[in-house]
Amino acid sequence: MKMQGLSDKVAVITGASSGIGEATARLLIAEGAHVVLVARRRARIEALAEELGGRACAVMADVSDASQVGPLFSLVREAFGGLDLLLNNAGLGFSAAFVDSTPEEWRRMFDTNVIGLLSCTQAAIPLMKGRPGAMIASISSTGGRYGVEGWSVYCATKYAVVGFHETLRKELGADGIRVSVIEPGAVWTEFGHNVPEQALRQRRQALDALHAEDVAQAVVYAFAQPPRVLVQEILVRPVKQIAP
């Protein structure tokens, strides 16, 4: 069943080359939106755009590099004249006990999960003015609400995302721009590169982890609401993930 109101909307998804971003792109295309797929792995997003057809296009960009973010949104303005939906999804996490973690890892997580998200959001806002139902949604984490042992700095980046959205919502509400956070628990994706594959698989199996499509459904539900409705926050976790 098609959702209301997504046909011909223009969406930018960061981190669209895999996982939750890719799954959301597939759903939005199925709902009739135009989707700009953003990631660093050019071959992946180009192949996905090709598969999804004429309403998808691929733009390679590293969101942690501000000099790549400006041109990305200029291109969106030139191609579409504005933007309805931004999904800040690009993110990465390194797992380590805090005492063993390194400043290089801290910087990489903050540069993408926080600074990259801020750069994209700031560049997107002018393109959203005057477009009914415009919406910025960002993927945070259950770790951005409760913290997860072994992921302290990653969780700090996601707490930053939640805090930023709580304030941005107040700044943009009067302009009719909706601001939302989506907080998934464990999901079967490529996330968690520095965790041994077997350990990741065991944890996800034990929790019967979410599929990327489960999170994508939550995102699309929020996007598809009428312009007067803000779904401010969705926390979606595997039922067996009792904590955090």
Q: Tell me the catalytic residues.
A: 154
Residues 6+ apart with CB under 8 A from 11: 28, 33, 34, 35, 36, 83, 84, 85, 86, 87, 223
| CA 124, 62, 188, 241 torsion-angle sign | negative
Find, among 171, 173, 5, the residue nearest to 85 by Cα.
5
Instruction: Using the minimum distance from each CB to ligand NJP, give the nearer residue, 133 or 143.
Output: 143
Q: Which long-range contacts (CB under 8 A, 24 or more apart) does 110-114 make?
A: 110/153, 110/157, 110/160, 111/64, 112/63, 112/64, 113/154, 113/157, 113/158, 113/160, 113/161, 114/157, 114/160, 114/161, 114/164
Instruction: Using the minimum distance from each CB to ligand NJP, give the nearer residue, 64 or 169.
Output: 64
**181, exposed or middle or buried, with CB in 10 Å at 0-12, 13-18, 19+?**
buried
Site for ligand NJP in 88-107 (CB under 6 A): 89-93
Print the binding letters for residues 171-200 with ligand NJP: x by CB under 6 A, - otherwise: -------------xxxx-xxx---------
Provide the minimum distance between the beta carbon of 174 and ligand NJP in the complex, in angstroms, as a whole number: 28
Provide the minimum distance between the beta carbon of 171 and ligand NJP in the complex, in angstroms, as a whole number: 22
- Token digits of residue 152: 């302290």
C-alpha 44/C-alpha 5 separation (Å) is: 28
Interacting span for ligand NJP (CB under 6 A) from 10-18, 94-102, 118-126, 164-172? 10-18
Instruction: Using the minimum distance from each CB to ligand NJP, give the nearer residue, 176 or 213.
Output: 213
**Residue 238 sits in the site that holds ligand NJP (CB under 6 A):** no
Provide the minimum distance between the beta carbon of 190 and ligand NJP in the complex, in angstroms, as a whole number: 4
Interacting span for ligand NJP (CB under 6 A) from 76-84, 118-126, 139-147, 167-175? 139-147
Residue with tokens 């951005």: 144
Size of the site for ligand NJP (CB under 6 A): 34
Interacting span for ligand NJP (CB under 6 A) from 78-86, 138-146, 173-181, 217-225? 138-146
C-alpha 85/C-alpha 34 separation (Å) is: 10
C-alpha 94/C-alpha 198 separation (Å) is: 16
Provide the minimum distance between the beta carbon of 141 and ligand NJP in the complex, in angstroms, as a whole number: 3
Beta bridge partners of 86: 12, 136
Instruction: Using the minimum distance from each CB to ligand NJP, give the nearer residue, 7 or 232.
Output: 232
Site for ligand NJP in 11-70 (CB under 6 A): 14-21, 39-41, 44, 62-64
Provide the minimum distance between the beta carbon of 128 and ligand NJP in the complex, in angstroms, as a whole number: 20
* Site residues, ligand NJP (CB under 6 A): 14-21, 39-41, 44, 62-64, 89-93, 112, 116, 139, 141-143, 184-187, 189-191, 212
